[in-house]
Amino acid sequence: MVELLSKVHLTSHPIFLRIRGHSVYEDENQRTWLHLVLDTEGDLQVRLWQDDIPSGYIALTTSPLTSSTMPSMWTLHLGSQYLDSMGRLWRIVHHVKVGDMEEMILELMDHS
């Protein structure tokens, strides 16, 4: 029998996400998050999904491309936004858990 996955909207967000390697961030609980940059009709969005990656598999990066396009850290700000290390604000579009997978989409705010 096929098991339906339930989708739960989360209101408790990571306090911070800091860069750990190429396309990998880590939160305050040492959980790793992969990211993918999305360009949707001119709005810059980042899709983050929680995936446990052993630390030995994470190559630390100082790539100029990564450091110029992605922040080194996001910090939760006012409970529903993130302030990045470049001083930009990102709104939380959604933060859900489907089965065992947690996903969050952040969107760069126009006025930041």
pLDDT, one tens digit per residue, over 82-104 is 999 999 999 999 999 988 889 99
How is the chain split into domains, by residue range?
14-108
Mean pLDDT for the stretch of residues 64-83? 80
89 touches 80 (CB < 8 A):
no
Angle, alpha carbons 20-9-98 (nearest 5°)? 70
106 touches 90 (CB < 8 A):
yes
* Domain 14-108 -> CATH class: mainly beta
pTM above 0.85, yes or no: no
- Mean pLDDT lowest among 39-48, 52-61, 69-78: 52-61
- Partners of 28 in the β-ladder: none
- Per-residue tokens: 83: 């302030």
